[in-house]
Structure 1
Amino acid sequence: MSLAAGFMSLLDVSIVNVALPSIQQGLGASSGGVQWIVSGYALTFGLSLVAGGRLGDVLGRRRMFLIALTGFVLTSALAGAAPNEGLLVAARLAQGLAAGLLTPQNSGLIQDMFRGAERGRAFGMFGATVGISTATGPVLGGLILAAFGADSGWRWVFYVNVPVGALAFALAWLWLPRADTGLRTLRHQIDYRGALLLGIAVLCVLFPLVQSEGGGTPWLWLLVLLAPAFGYAFVRWEQRVAGRGGKPLLDLTLFTAVPGYPPGLVLGTVYFCGFTGIFLVMSLFLQKGLQYTPLQSGLAVTPFALGSAITAVVAGRLVSRFGRGLTLTGLCLVTLGLIGVAVVVLLVPERELGWALTLPLLLAGVGGGAVISPNTTLTLECVPNRVAGAAGGALQTGQRIGTAIGTAVLATAYYTTVSATGGRYPVAVSVAMLCAIGFMLVAITVAVLELRARRRRVVDADRDEALAADVQR
């Protein structure tokens, strides 16, 4: 049930894209309003992840899961029933907030309920959920629009969350273990000033990026320059809270005393920079360049989703045996698949391109499934359960920032090339894929460095154990 809830919240990042023309037609929405229907959700989603994780640590994962799931279902219903553009934007902002509170509970529950190889398998299922939700959003959106029509089909993109969410709530109420935490601890356990400082820092990064997808205004990029200042203020405040024995929003020892956490967070962020922007570019190319319908466009990228779903489950079972090497292999396969896409779109005639893309997209999907779930497992494996929610929230915040950066970079590369080449869409896709490949090469570098560090730790541990044995003899 937690995976079903996580699937819904992540699916809504991408599924609404294919419904935008229907929303404009049904509500007469402006281009600016349409932009906020998409980016507003992504913005509040990214802002609330760490706070949502910390609330789960304090109040208990079960309680926080049920509260956030209720909020997500209600705001989904409000979005579907919205009579005008303004109320739909407000509902989407609230829906993103609820999704950000809900999502960290998934990784936190896995940390609490599973150990060892079982945890790897559970994160494998979670990784499959992330991959499938991102890749199948356009397909499901196209199916819903085809079933309910262009005029009101967009409403069912939101309404579909209601029955699924209600079922997930009932199952969670019955099956999730009850925690011993109480609401009375909230005032003293939550670092409100830290949450505000971190929220402003993340806002300064995300707001210009999500606005850039709709053109935005140049002065918004000045906010990015403020992000390091607020980030530094957040770190200093968290150090002060911890120094006086308080409860910081994010335990900074995660970055100094938990092996594997910092590089795993960086790797996940960089991977999402190259991973999620691919689907926007392919959707633009297939619908604008090849005149595919939204459903045809979604089906064309289905091989990626299938490959990712299958591999993520298998990779979750293998991560305890192969470790970071599994992630490195996955990144290499993704890179090879993207190279294949970049070459195929240039060489294959347009009428045959849909089928020709199947193999490279499948290869990239197979690799992608071996990245997300193993990286989540390896990044969180040494994290104490008492801060698992905040740690998972920070990891997913990095993924959301990576999503925003990658989408902005790949879309900009695509549009710029289309303009510069006089509408040569295949060339634009190839250039965008090269940008994604660049991100993958950075992620590969991080994975190689982390793999070497892990091997050094194993060698050092063996040496220390041998020295201790010698002393005892």
Structure 2
Amino acid sequence: MIAETDRPALDDRRWKALGVCLTAGFISLLDVSIVNVALPSMERGLGASEAAQSWVVSGYALAFGLALAPAGRLGDLRGRRQALLFGLGVFTVASVGCGLASGATWLVVFRLVQGAAAGVVAPQISGLIQQMFHGAERARAFGLHGSVVAVSTAVGPLVGGLLIQAFGTDDGWRWVFFVNVPIGVAALVAGHRLLPRFPQPTGRVEKFDPLGVLLLGTGVLAVLLPLVQEQQWQGRAKWALLPVGALLLGAFWVWERNLGRRGKAPLVDLGLFTLRSFTLGTLISLTFFAGLTTIFFVLSLFLQNSEAYSALGAGLTILPFAVASAVGAACGGRLVLRYGRSLVVIGLSAVVLGLFGVVLAVRLVPGEGVGWAMALPLVVAGIGSGLTVSPNTTLTLMLVPVRRAGAAGGVMQTGQRIGSAVGIAVVGAVYFAHLSNHGPATTAIELGLLTAMGIILVALVLAVVDLRERLARPGGNDLAAAPQPDVRESGPGEKAGQGV
């Protein structure tokens, strides 16, 4: 038992441990977008070809997405503290390797290692939040996590632009990676001191599922590869990988189902998908990130290539979205217990409204003033993004057993990575197709943003349908009625939806 006099210190330590988790998550997600503005610097200072530049961006995304689900399960089995510290350590070392790379090939290699390490870190964060917090505190913690996700993704171009301006176009790209090193080292030192050591579950020892890892990994790779390389791989042959990926993922589903029937531990507990909150939340997350990620992609290209903005100027233009999103996520974490799925509906509606405002700003205020004109719409969209990400994460994971939290978080974030790749491929195709036909850049960005809006509208429809069915059932808000977790790990015999 924990004495009452010890509880304030324990609570303080939990929030400090959360700070370590969020710091690790920040630098790993920052590296998704920070390199986009550094590509011209890599070309000039390192002589990186267009293909190498593409792999610097897409290789990270691929390795990140492939590592998520296996790493989440590994953390569930062997300890999330150890997995997070290991991933963070490898990420920091790989950042040093990227910054010191003497050629494009080495840069791509270290970038792949860095992405895989980020994929190890990400699911441990949601798993540790599930372990360390419950009830209103868990919602608040996920709110802070949502703020970090939003800020790190949106602020990447700004940080990259500042570093390149400070260190020059020849070597500025190296500091895009070196900036991770002091942060990573500090987080490692603090993590060894502050991250809690939870006891392993008692009872039957569960084994890892190597065939499940192979089937899932090759399936996700076959789906992601043609999407992230859509601009670099010419011709239609690349799309043949999509049905191959579907077959591999189908084989993965059959294999995992058979493991569960035989009483063995699968890589992904398919019973999670019997939880309506998890299935709907994962689909909403996938479609929302498919639309959200593309906003920064096409806006950065439009501002720098068509409106002659510098990398720093483009990053500053997107800054209102990042700040507003952080505020929205913090508020969403506090309000989700009261309003549930309706908060997600409000957030998605605000994102759609804000994007429509950005389209109007592009059309009505062409030229250098477009950045100022889109500031207010980006604030509206940013607040909506914050009210979507953290509440949806809380609602998605609320009934997941704590011992499956890492794997569940990995599956959810794998959906986000796939959604981002699909969105960039679709919206990028619309944007570049119009430019290649010598159409006006303003029309191209309008069509791209309208396509992103359409994708986010799919997420909004899913959220509205879910909300209507929840309100039609007795009890209304499932979150308020969710049982509270025990502070220990759940036992191996519990079913999905119990013990939380």
Q: Tell me which interval the TM-score lies in, with the shorter structure as reference length.
A: over 0.9
SS at match of 2:368: helix
1:100 to 116, 119, 122: 119
Residue 34 (structure 2) pairs with residue 18 (structure 1): no
SS at match of 1:165: helix
Contact persistence 1:276–1:406 (CA under 8 A):
yes
Q: How does 1:2-401 map to 2 (within 5 A)?
A: 2-181=21-200, 189-256=207-274, 258-401=275-418
1:431 to 415, 426, 447: 447
Gaps of 5+ in 2: 1-19, 482-500
Q: What is the TM-score of this pair, normalised by structure 2?
A: 0.89
User: Hey, what's the Cα distance between the residues in 1 that align with 2:401 and 2:409?
Assistant: 11
Task: Give structure 1 regions of 4+ aligned residues with deviation exceeding 6 angstroms.
Answer: none
Match of residue 417 from structure 1: 434
Give 1:181 shift: 3.7
Give 1:171 shift: 1.1
Match of residue 467 from structure 2: 451
User: Hey, what's the Cα distance between the residues in 2 that align with 1:219 and 1:419?
Assistant: 21
Distance change (3 Å), C-alpha of 1:57 and 1:21: same
User: Hey, what's the Cα distance between the residues in 1 that align with 2:427 and 2:76?
Assistant: 36
Higher helix share: 1
User: Hey, what's the Cα distance between the residues in 2 that align with 1:91 and 1:193?
Assistant: 26
Contact persistence 2:470–2:477 (CA under 8 A):
no
Contact persistence 1:53–1:392 (CA under 8 A):
yes
Give 1:454 shift: 2.4
User: Hey, what's the Cα distance between the residues in 2 that align with 1:178 and 1:6?
Assistant: 19
Give 1:381 shift: 0.4
Aligned residue identity for 2:37: V
Match of residue 406 from structure 1: 423
User: Hey, what's the Cα distance between the residues in 2 that align with 1:383 and 1:51?
Assistant: 17
Distance change (3 Å), C-alpha of 1:216 and 1:169: farther
Give 1:142 shift: 0.2
Give 1:216 shift: 4.4
Contact persistence 1:259–1:382 (CA under 8 A):
no
Moved more, 188-197 or 107-116: 188-197
Contact persistence 2:470–2:476 (CA under 8 A):
no
List per-residue Cα deviations over 1:183-223 (Å, max 9, x = no partner): xx99x521110111111111111000110143444211100
User: Hey, what's the Cα distance between the residues in 2 that align with 1:128 and 1:349?
Assistant: 31
Aligned residue identity for 2:262: R
Q: What is the TM-score of this pair, normalised by structure 1?
A: 0.94
Give 1:342 shift: 1.2
Quote the sequence identity (%). Answer: 50
User: Hey, what's the Cα distance between the residues in 2 that align with 1:435 and 1:366?
Assistant: 20
User: Hey, what's the Cα distance between the residues in 2 that align with 1:203 and 1:325?
Assistant: 35
User: Hey, what's the Cα distance between the residues in 2 that align with 1:54 and 1:205?
Assistant: 21
SS at match of 2:62: helix
Give 1:423 shift: 4.2
Moved more, 379-388 or 337-346: 337-346
Corresponding residue pairs, total = 458
